[in-house]
Amino acid sequence: MRYLILFVGVMAVLVSEVSATPLFSRQTGMACSSCHFQHFPLLNGFGRAFKSAGYTMMGGQHKIESDGLSIPSTLNMAVVTTTGYEKSNQAEGAFPERTTGNGLVYLPAGGGELSLFFGGRVSENTGFLGELAVGDAVSGAHSSAKMPIDASSVFSFMPDGMRTSFVPFATDALGASYGFELLNTGANAVQQMISTPGFNGAHSGAFSAQQYLGTNGPAKGVAIVLSHPMGYINLTKFNRTGITNGGRASLDSTYIRVAGVFQVSGWDAAVGTQMWNGSSAVANPDSASPFVLLMADTKATAVDGQMQGLIGDIPVGFYASYARAPVVAADTGAGFLGNAYNTYNTQISLTSPSRGIVATGIDAKSSFNLSVEAGVIPDQTTLGAAIRSGKNGDGNTDNAIMLIGTYKIARNMVCSLAFTSSSGSYWNSNDTKTGTTDQVGNTTYTINLFAAF
């Protein structure tokens, strides 16, 4: 622990006033704080409007324009990296197969994330966002791509302010909601106050009910979106294979998102609901090859809400989510996996971290999560906490508490320290539950340095 304290102290000494200049900052000429609440990746109202417009807004950057052509003069790019240290009470591994029980350092492209983002304005009505990553789902790295296409001119009978969009997309780690999502509740994996998922999803599962169910993961599909400053509807046809799986897709699953956005006494508020249905091909978690597929149901529901505003001079965000996935029996003889969002005892293999051993849920899997984050030093330091009351699909309770602090070293560099401890009947019999390939601890702490430039 003394090394963590020393590390945080060194980070504090390195504070600077450098402004963030990633992809969209370059295109718009605006600081990242123009779109984000407190820190990346949480969106504020302007950030929601920019995203709803399909990343097409331009600022001072020069454009190349002619009949039917309107693009930035420069292909805008950005790099995202994560560096840090993670420790859990997972059983320690024998040399050379160390685990987080030993305490592990991760570096960009070496257990941590190294991602190249590119895209922006394609035309007046079309945008693009692509991400190529070195790493794996354990580190939070993933590859994704989407192309929002504004078709509002075709639907001119729509009310003023209403936008109609089509968003083809593919992602290895962000799920069906990646096509279009604006709230900061973890309805999509990238938009939550914790920038690192933690070992076995410990941190993200404490903050977000949707992430506890595992609604992230591979997905490819097409989103049909109606958006307005007062809310949005997203109807997506998708399947549970991503970029790594490759190939063409039969979009047999359906995702529906409805959310309303409004003001309450000066607070930026929103509530919404999500539903996943249908069945989809998924990568076989017991196979080293991503091209070996099984069938699985995709059944889950969620409700969520947020409020972001000021208490005195302190910016504060409140977030709540509830999600539930029913039981779907697996038929292993037919290669049917059950419900992709209701599995338990998902282990991380020591020798093959990208693989997992999945046990099908025998009871409904559900979670209720509450969290708060306050900018105790506005625009520099936040403190937050989250609690989870969950049932993990095997008939036992699985609760958690998470504490997190973030510190802006620069506008585009954030250092965070997160601690999560789980409890409940699932953990009572053995605090390091034994799995097929691994043992999973119930406490995880992570120090993470996020940088985007």
* Phi (first) and psi of residue 144, to 5 degrees: -150, 160
pLDDT for position 33 = 72
* 429 contacts: CB under 8 Å, gap ≥ 6: none
Distance CA 133, CA 176 (A): 19
Structure tokens at 105: 């350092």
Residue 348, pLDDT above cutoff 60? no
pLDDT > 90 in the chain, percent:
44
Q: What is the DSSP string of 133-174?
A: EES-TTTT---EEE--EE-GGGGTTSPTT-EEEEEEEEESSB
pLDDT for position 19 = 30
Range name among 161-165, 194-198, 431-435 with the lowest pLDDT average: 431-435
Distance CA 119, CA 356 (A): 33
Query: Residue 285 — pLDDT band, cuts 50, 70, 90?
Result: low
Question: Residue 289, class by beta-carbon neighbours within 10 Å (0-12 exposed, 13-18 middle, 19+ buried)?
Answer: exposed
| pLDDT digit string, tens, across residues 180-231 | 999 999 999 888 888 778 877 889 999 999 999 999 989 999 999 999 999 9
Query: Residue 54 — pLDDT band, cuts 50, 70, 90?
Result: confident
Residue 179, pLDDT above cutoff 80? yes
Residue 3, pLDDT above cutoff 50? no
pLDDT for position 192 = 85
Mean pLDDT score, 241-250: 76
pLDDT > 70 in the chain, percent:
84
Distance CA 266, CA 387 (A): 26
Mean pLDDT score, 274-280: 95
* Phi (first) and psi of residue 40, to 5 degrees: -60, 140
E strand spans, 172-287: 219-228, 231-239, 253-264, 267-283
β-strand partners of 155: none
Average pLDDT of the chain is 82
Q: Are 414 and 406 in contact (CB under 8 A)?
A: yes
Q: What is the DSSP string of 75-107?
A: -EEEEEEEEEEEEESSPPPPTTS--TTT-EEEE
Residue 13, pLDDT above cutoff 60? no
Q: Which domain holds residue 280?
A: 2-452
pLDDT for position 194 = 80
Distance CA 341, CA 326 (A): 8
- Of 103 and 111, the one with more pLDDT: 103
Mean pLDDT score, 137-149: 76
Range name among 85-94, 224-233, 258-267, 400-409 with the lowest pLDDT average: 85-94
Residue 347, pLDDT above cutoff 70? no
Residue 354, pLDDT above cutoff 80? no
Residue 324, pLDDT above cutoff 60? yes
Four-point Cα dihedral 178, 412, 408, 138, nearest 10: 40
Mean pLDDT score, 338-367: 68
Q: How many structural domains is the chain composed of?
A: 1
pLDDT for position 5 = 36
The CATH number assigned to the domain holding 292 equals: 2.40.160.10
pLDDT for position 432 = 44
Instruction: Give the N- to C-terminal CA distance of the chain in Å, as an integer.
Output: 30
Query: Residue 102 — pLDDT band, cuts 50, 70, 90?
Result: confident
Residue 263 has a CB neighbour count (10 Å cut-off) of: 11
pLDDT for position 30 = 75
pLDDT for position 197 = 82
Query: Residue 67 — pLDDT band, cuts 50, 70, 90?
Result: confident
pLDDT for position 289 = 60
pTM for the structure as a whole: 0.87
β-strand partners of 381: 377, 407
pLDDT for position 341 = 92
Residue 351, pLDDT above cutoff 80? no
Task: Give just the sign of the alpha carbon dihedral 147, 229, 178, 30.
Answer: positive
Question: Residue 116, class by beta-carbon neighbours within 10 Å (0-12 exposed, 13-18 middle, 19+ buried)?
Answer: middle
Residue 4, pLDDT above cutoff 60? no
| pLDDT digit string, tens, across residues 36-45 | 777 777 788 7
Residue 51 has a CB neighbour count (10 Å cut-off) of: 21
pLDDT for position 83 = 92
Residue 237, pLDDT above cutoff 60? yes
Query: Residue 334 — pLDDT band, cuts 50, 70, 90?
Result: low
Distance CA 9, CA 14 (A): 9
Query: Residue 317 — pLDDT band, cuts 50, 70, 90?
Result: very high
pLDDT for position 344 = 75
Distances (CA, A) of 59 to 36, 71, 202, 380: 17, 12, 39, 26
Residue 302, pLDDT above cutoff 60? yes
